[in-house]
């Protein structure tokens, strides 16, 4: 039996970014296969780290929602995590200060936690909507030395000076509604984590990928089309991606969108030349769409996912070499 040519050779993956905004990016990765494409997607969802509210202490709650319900809603708020590399995982932090002394309060330290607070009392007759804009970072005396101090709060914040107004329920993420004389007061601790530990750490709203289309002209059908019909087809298809070569054969000027291929095949079919264009998936090129929840920008999510994937391959290579080194040298490969 002939051995399949799987995993042989050397590839150099290439990334091409098509569009990018604060919370969405579309890009193409080529020279990879489906397993790597899906691994990268799953890492972006489950292993790229962010901050999220992990502990909630309700001090006062006279709203209609019980404490656990509010704590769950607070935990799902996306927290500003653009400097996530400055933080350690809580279970891997020794919680010591600069001189190595244990803080010892059991609530973590500035290297692994962010403290937040929420204190809203409705003293008006109108209903008060408590939103993520009411959650504020706890200020400490040494925060002035940190340029990112005060930024670790729920997003989106279109303006750092945004406070509650009658329109906050439109721009803010609703948490609970308060009637007159009702109060909600809580302190929170946000920690670093990843999506495979809890969905609240997932930095993405959605990550999808699909094979890039490979469009080719069916030469057998093309030879049957007279020149006048070729000109008619070229005039019918916008944008213009068909042309004639020196021998009056139809050629593709560029890889068109598949929707135009459907139109072209329909027009050619009306003239009696069905199947003029073939659309097949490229098995080594994938188009991604990445949307974030706002806690991190899409470029940093993709970058960290690639770093994590490389680390996984490095660990696999190290373990493989160790196993091979300990194996019996007389064992024959299969």
Domain of residue 180, CATH code:
2.170.120.12
pLDDT band at 161 (very low <50, low <70, confident <90, very high): low
Which pLDDT value is given to residue 5?
A: 45
The tens digit of pLDDT for each residue in 260-282 reads: 777 778 878 888 888 888 888 88
Residue 311 lies in a domain: no
- Asked if residue 331 belongs to a domain, the reply is no
Average pLDDT along the chain: 83
Closest CA to 307 of 85, 91, 94: 85
62 and 160 in a common domain: yes
**57 and 159, same domain (yes or no):** yes
* Alpha-carbon span 252 to 293, nearest angstrom: 40
H-assigned helices in 241-297: 258-270
Query: Is residue 218 assigned to a domain?
Result: yes
Domain region containing 126: 51-197
CATH number at residue 246: 3.30.1360.10
Domain tally, the chain: 2
pLDDT at 164 over 80: no
Q: Do residues 299 and 20 make contact, with C-beta atoms less than 8 angstroms apart?
A: yes
Over its C-alpha atoms, the chain yields an Rg (Å, rounded) of 28
Residues 90 and 68 in one domain: yes
Tell me, letter by letter, the H, E, C secondary structure of 25-83. Answer: EEEEEECCCHHHHHHHHHHHHHCCCEEEEEEEEEEEECCCCCHHHHHHHHHCCCECCCC
Rounded Cα–Cα distance for residues 248 and 27 (Å): 36
* Inside any domain, residue 73: yes
How far is it, in rounded angstroms, from Cα 269 to Cα 263? 10
pLDDT value at 145 more than 70: no
If asked whether residues 187 and 76 sit together in one domain, one would say yes
* Selection from 242, 231, 240 nearest residue 277 by Cα: 242
DSSP 3-state assignment of 180? coil
Residue of 289, 291, 294 whose CA lies nearest to 51: 294
* Residues listed for the chain: 334
pTM of the model: 0.78
Q: Is residue 297 part of a domain?
A: no
Structural domain contains residue 167: yes
pLDDT (0 to 100) of residue 148: 61
Does residue 75 sit in the same domain as residue 176? Answer: yes
Residue 40's pLDDT is: 96
* 265, 288, 311 - which closes a domain: 288
Domain boundary among 176, 197, 218: 197
Same domain, 181 and 82: yes
Residue 72 and residue 63 in contact, taking contact as beta carbons nearer than 8 Å: no
């Amino acid at each position: 039996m002939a051995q399949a040519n799987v995993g042989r050779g050397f590839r150099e993956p290439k990334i091409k970014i098509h569009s990018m905004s604060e919370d969405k990016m579309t890009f193409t990765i080529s020279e990879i296969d489906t397993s790597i494409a899906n691994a990268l997607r799953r890492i972006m969802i489950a292993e790229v780290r962010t901050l999220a509210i992990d502990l909630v202490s309700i001090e006062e709650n006279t709203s209609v929602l019980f404490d656990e319900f509010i704590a769950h809603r607070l935990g799902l708020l996306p927290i500003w995590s653009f400097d996530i590399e400055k933080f350690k995982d809580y279970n891997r932090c020794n919680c010591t200060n600069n001189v190595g002394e244990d803080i010892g309060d059991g609530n973590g330290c500035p290297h692994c936690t962010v403290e937040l607070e929420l204190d809203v009392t409705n003293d008006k007759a109108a209903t008060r909507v408590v939103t993520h804009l009411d959650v504020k970072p706890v200020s400490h005396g040494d925060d002035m030395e940190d340029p990112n101090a005060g930024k670790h709060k729920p997003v989106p914040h279109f303006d750092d000076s945004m406070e509650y107004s009658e329109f906050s329920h439109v721009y803010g993420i609703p948490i609970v509604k308060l009637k007159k004389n009702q109060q909600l007061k809580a302190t929170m601790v946000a920690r670093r984590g990843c999506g495979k530990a809890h969905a609240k750490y997932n930095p993405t709203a959605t990550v999808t990928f699909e094979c890039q289309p490979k469009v080719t002209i069916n030469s057998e059908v093309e030879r049957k089309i007279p020149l006048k019909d070729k000109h008619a087809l070229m005039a019918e298809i916008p944008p213009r991606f068909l042309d004639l070569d020196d021998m009056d054969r139809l050629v593709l000027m560029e890889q068109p969108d598949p929707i135009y291929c459907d139109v072209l095949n329909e027009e050619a079919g009306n003239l009696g030349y069905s199947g003029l264009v073939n659309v097949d998936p490229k098995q080594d090129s994938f188009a991604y769409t990445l949307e974030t929840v706002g806690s991190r920008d899409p470029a940093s999510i993709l970058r960290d996912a690639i770093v994590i994937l490389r680390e996984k391959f490095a660990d696999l290579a190290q373990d493989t070499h160790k196993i091979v080194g300990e194996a019996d040298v007389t064992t024959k490969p299969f």
